[in-house]
Structure 1
Amino acid sequence: MAERTTAGRATAGRATAGRLTAREAIGAVVDDSTFAELAVSERASAPDGPIGWEGYDVSHARAQERTGERESVVCGFGAFGGRRAVLLAFEFGFLGGSLGERTGDRIEAAYTAAREERLPLVSLVATGGSRMQEGMRALTQLQRVAHQSALNRAAGLPQIAVLRDPTTGGGWATLGAGADVILALSGAQVGFAGSRVRPPDADPAAYTAEGQLTAGHIDQVVAPQELRASLGRWLTLLAGRPDSPPAPAPPPAAFVAAQPPETGWDAVLRARAAGRPRAGAYLDAYFELREPVSGDRCGGVDPGMLCGFGLREGRTVAYAAQCGTATLPAGYRTAARLIRLADRLGVPVLTLVDTPGAANDHRAERAGAGAAIADTFAAVATASVPVTTLVIGEGGSGGALALAAPDHTWVTPDSYFSVIAPEAAAAILKRPAGAVRDTADQLRLRPQDLVELGMARGVVGRG
């Protein structure tokens, strides 16, 4: 791909209503003087565009004069914290950042360059959607973008989207929502429906970056002044050359050096102790740097499931960690999404098991608990990258087993793993309450039992 340096070029378009132009947005995130614009051949256009929209040529010329750009997207190469990537940025001042045929040409060129150079793609999105003046020829650019995105996904190349204000319509439904990691600037308008086409009684909060985060549709909301550092961290985590094949992540060290529990009930009490270290403590001790992903992309978030990517001794490891609560369907779907993304990028996975079991109330059933758990089992079972599991607390039935790696699960001294909780087992067997302790012994759920039964490879020691 030919490229031409434009780092020293003055910004022709100016920010309006607090919005940055495409080049200002680029300058705000890339390392100084590293942006080199792609040279993209422009197709010939019929008078007033592909559907002969009267006055379109005049509007297009005015947009060029006003912004200094020839189209609504600027694309090229840039460095983020020393990590090189392909970058495309929308110019909202150019016909509302709309997607037309020439916009599609530029976006395709950016994706192609990323594949040729084996680089991540970062999209700074600010668009109102497809360009009406080009009719269906504009709308079909969404299929073109989706195809290019799929090619890069199949090539194992990460895609990061930054949602600026506004990100609506097809731009949100392809470049935005279709990215591997979705960041949004605080306060940005984000939604499929633009402000002029929403139902009159629509809740405006649902169309904000913060609303989309709450609903599980994006990973992080980032303040504008923090975006450069955030992208640098993400590219550090995702742009490195992974091992081929990747080595398994080592299990974290335990926080305790206690003797193995004497009885099954002792193991249960240890795992349920209020002061026991939880997933956040293990992740903080294990990683030098980590960035979270959030949400199941289906309208749900589970605060009891921590997912993301971290840096461990210079190597990226993906993690999915239960936090000791009953895991919601959204938590399982988020974990499955994380594991599949890590698999595609060639990144090993660490899972931390700590749950009394899957949430089983009526809300969880209506949210698809069974399907979500099944999908997590499938994600672990089909992962081509190694998955390492450490049971750090309660291992409650299938809700815990869904995250456990067959043949590569470890346990801590203050954990247990059981086919069912001792209290539930006693109740099902119609035993008196006083029989719970004996039932716990019969279940053979202690850490040393799990090793003896071949369910765990070993009990990890304190670091």
Structure 2
Amino acid sequence: MPERLSARAVIETVASGFAEFEHAPAEYSEVDGPIGWPGYDEAHAKASKHTGESESVVCGRGRIGETDAVLIAFEFGFLGGSMGGRTGDRVESAFVRARELRLPLVFLIATGGSRMQEGMRALSQLPRVARQIALTRAAGLPQIAVLRDPATGGGWATLGAGADVTIALSQAQVGFAGSRVRPPGDASAYTAEAQYESGHVDAVVGPDDLPGVLASWLTLLAGPGAAEVPVPHALGRAELPETGWEAVRNARAAQRPRASSYLDDYFDERADISGDLCGGRDSGVLCGFGRRNGETIAYAAQAGTPTLPSGFRTAARLVSLADRLKLPVLTIVDTLGAANDAAAERSGAGPAIAELFLAVASASVPITSLVIGEGGSGGALAFAAPGRIWMTPDSYFSVTSPEAAALILKRDPAEVPETANQLRLRPQDVVELGVAQGIAPHVEDSR
């Protein structure tokens, strides 16, 4: 369990020059709150004396790395960081100020959830916060959540899970159900690490690493986006294949450069998002944001494995987020195809592929696609932007794999190489067919 710092102590670790927003004094006529909870006024006063805060959240403006941001930090020592009506007032005001100032938001979350001493007035703050998240998304401003300990209840289910990028502190308690109300069983499911493995959190970091990680993410998401996406240089072989089967063998060669090599060569720095926010992660899909010559470009890359439904959903999430933030996208195609086993079907392979097709089709930002290896059927095409596709010499793009085509046509396995030739899947064939725009230029050092 990470050290439980106060709201102001956490702010000091990640930001400089913090200036708290002024809050109009709240005037409530109720004794012991809106539902007359016995002793609530006394508990509120005791919490204020103990923490030095007048409410469970501290809001203001500070500088994180090289980026100015609005910070919303929960004070767990104040009634468990719970959210009541006055908390909602401050949170809403901070969102409004962020939109007025055109600044990104950072949520430093440590809360047990809604404040039961205020009854439904407390719970009603959740849709209020959700509306502010939605308005800020529409304004195109980044929102980053940091999950401290604990991050449970409505705080996790709005500010935490509703952020564009979610970072959790190692070993923090993260979950909708708090420790006192969850059913008995596997407590490990309610940890930052478990939420990461389930695809609900983008990164788990130690407290010492948080300032640098947070500063890097703000630089990526709030910095200038590139006006276009230059086509990456081909890193593998320079010669085009003579036959279709040669193209397939080149794409499947173990020594061929993979997505990570292309991303490392293309970007000066980068950071991954991880997971589809629906319970799945695909290690064969790399999505995130990178800096190239001081400008941000998003990326969604297949890493050579059959793409899982969670991989398609993560890529769709990336493209939609980049579009909302007005950041262009690079996609890298390299897969034999979509995973097609029973587990993939139960996980929604078709709907997940459709989600990515629609995200790419509806994006208003520039998207450049590069096929670096296998381009197998619709599972590969979903990652490709029509009219902006480029091939490398050691790649192919096909309606299906040669082996699958031979099976469908009831051909002998010995006819697979000839089937590959007939499919016209070579890079130059794909260009001649008008599906790709050209062959990526080849240099040893793309810089």
For Structure 1 versus Structure 2, the TM-score category normalised by the shorter chain is: over 0.9
Residue of structure 2 equivalent to 1:236 = 219
Q: Any idea what the Cα deviations from partners look like across 1:264-291, whole Å, max 9, x if unmatched?
A: 0000000000111100000000000101
Correspondence for 1:136 among 120, 125, 128: 120
Matched, 1:445 2:425: yes
Which amino acid is the alignment partner of residue 122 of structure 2? Answer: A
Match of 1:155 in 2: 139
1:112 is matched with which residue?
96
Residues 30-77 of structure 1 show CA distances to partners (whole Å, capped at 9, x for unaligned) of 13xx10000011321222111111110100000000000000000000
- For residue 193 of structure 1, report the CA deviation from its aligned partner: 0.1
SS at match of 2:390: strand
Aligned in 2, Cα 1:305/1:149: closer, same or farther, shift over 3 Å?
A: same
- Corresponding residue number in structure 1 for 2:407: 427
Letter in 2 for 1:228: P
Query: Residue 36 of structure 1 corresponds to which residue in structure 2?
Result: 19
Which residue number corresponds to residue 308 of structure 1?
288
C-alpha contact 1:257 1:461 (8 A) present in aligned 2: no
150, 165, 170: which is aligned to 2:154? Answer: 170
Distance 1:207 1:377 in 2: 33
Is the Cα contact below 8 Å between 2:234 and 2:392 reproduced in 1?
yes
Stretch deviating more after TM superposition (326-335 or 44-53): 44-53
* Superposed counterparts of 1:32-431, under 5 Å: 34-45=17-28, 46-201=30-185, 203-242=186-225, 247-431=227-411
Letter in 1 for 2:211: R
d(CA) in 1 for partners of 2:403, 2:118? 66
Superposition deviation, residue 247 in structure 1: 2.6
2:4 is the alignment partner of 1:19: yes
The CA deviation at 1:17 is: 8.7
Where does residue 4 of structure 1 map in the other structure? none
Check conservation: 2:114, 2:123, Cα contact below 8 A: yes
SS of alignment partner, residue 435 of structure 2: coil
Give % identity.
67
Q: Deviations over 1:55-114 (max 9, x none)?
A: 101000000000000000000000011210000100000000000011001100110011
**Aligned equivalents of 2:184, 2:114: Cα separation in 1:** 22
Secondary structure, in 3 states, of the residue corresponding to 2:63?
Answer: strand
Task: Using the TM superposition, name which of 354-363 and 42-51 deviates more.
Answer: 42-51
Query: For residues 325 and 169 of structure 1, what CA distance do their matches in structure 2 show?
Result: 36
How many Å separate the matches in 1 of 2:249 and 2:152?
Answer: 51
Kept in 1: contact 2:91–2:129 (CA 8 A): yes
Q: 3-state DSSP class of the match of 2:438? A: coil
**8 Å contact kept, 2:2–2:149:** no
Instruction: Return the offset for 1:309.
Output: 0.4
Structure 2 CA distance for aligned equivalents of residues 424 and 88 of structure 1: 54
In the alignment, is the contact (CA less than 8 A) between 1:107 and 1:145 conserved in 2?
yes
Q: Distance in 2 between matches of 1:374 and 1:44?
A: 51
TM-score, normalised via structure 2 length: 0.98
SS at match of 1:228: helix
Q: Please give the alpha-carbon distance, in whole angstroms, between the structure 1 residues aligned to 2:357 and 2:2.
A: 48
* Cα offsets for 1:241-273 (capped at 9, x unmatched): 44xxx6331121111342110000000000000
Supply the distance in 2 between the matched residues of 1:349 and 1:17 (Cα, whole angstroms). 36
Q: Report the 3-state secondary structure (helix = DSSP H, G, I; strand = E; otherwise coil) of the residue aligned with 2:373.
A: strand
Q: What SS does the aligned partner of 2:134 have?
A: helix
Q: TM-score, normalised by structure 1?
A: 0.94
> Is the Cα contact below 8 Å between 1:42 and 1:102 reproduced in 2?
no
Amino acid paired to 2:11: I
Tell me how far apart the structure 2 counterparts of residues 122 and 310 of structure 1 sit (CA, whole Å): 20
Structure 1 distance, partners of 2:281, 2:3, is 31
Distance 1:372 1:40 in 2: 45
Alpha-carbon distance in structure 2 between the residues aligned to 1:427 and 1:94: 66
Q: How does 1:1-20 map to 2 (within 5 A)?
A: 18-20=3-5
Deviation beyond 3 Å, 4+ runs, structure 1: none
CA distance in 2: counterparts of 1:313 and 1:440, whole angstroms: 40
Residue type of the alignment partner of 1:385:
V
Which amino acid is 2:348 matched to? G
Instruction: Tell which deviates more after alignment, 420-429 or 357-366.
Output: 420-429
Amino acid at match of 1:25: V
User: What 5-or-longer segments of structure 2 have no aligned partner?
Assistant: none
